[in-house]
Amino acid sequence: MSKKEQQILLVADAIINFALGILLFVFPENLLRFLGAPIPSETFYARILGAVLLGIGMALVLERFQDRIGLAGLGIGGAILINIFGAGALVFWLLFGTMDIPLRGHIILWIIALIVISISVIELMAARKNFKQS
């Protein structure tokens, strides 16, 4: 994978994390309602997840601009693992969870899972291509 391709993937992954992180941190109840996901009595965990996603997004941006900043962030390998585990947990929950959510919620959550899995597959293929070349 070329450095340019890696930078594009890092930024795309960061954008996804930023979008979900900001929405969960600032509007947890509204986002959960929109997604059709269960709304807990307290939004503490949704806000913490939002903050974690914002941190992951910032780590990806830091990695993207490490040449200018001089600090390393979260590399492609870490992003792949986070995405696979997060999307895997979501898919498992959608397939085997007992939560009663509307069809809209299932559709939107499946779309999110597929987007995250897709970017993970793209990152993994690019990383493997880069590994084979070295």
- Mean pLDDT is lowest, of 9-13, 23-27, 41-45, 91-95, for 41-45
pTM of the full predicted structure? 0.64
Q: Identify the DSSP state of 47.
A: H
Answer yes or no: is 31 within a domain.
yes
Per-residue pLDDT, 133 = 67
Q: Rounding to the nearest 10 degrees, give the CA dihedral for residues 50, 20, 121, 92.
A: 70
Closest to 110 measured CA to CA, from 60, 56, 101: 101
Tens-place pLDDT, residues 54-113: 888 888 888 888 888 777 777 777 888 888 888 888 888 888 877 777 888 889 889 989
Q: Alpha helix (H) ranges present in the chain? A: 3-26, 28-35, 44-64, 66-69, 76-96, 103-133
Which residue has better confidence, 91 or 6? 91
Answer yes or no: is 134 within a domain.
no
Per-residue pLDDT, 114 = 94
Phi, psi of 111 (to 5 degrees): -60, -45
Per-residue pLDDT, 16 = 86
Say yes or no to pLDDT of 130 above 70. Answer: no
Answer yes or no: is 58 within a domain.
yes
Range of the domain at 106: 3-129
The total number of structural domains that make up the chain: 1
Tens-place pLDDT, residues 114-128: 998 998 888 888 777
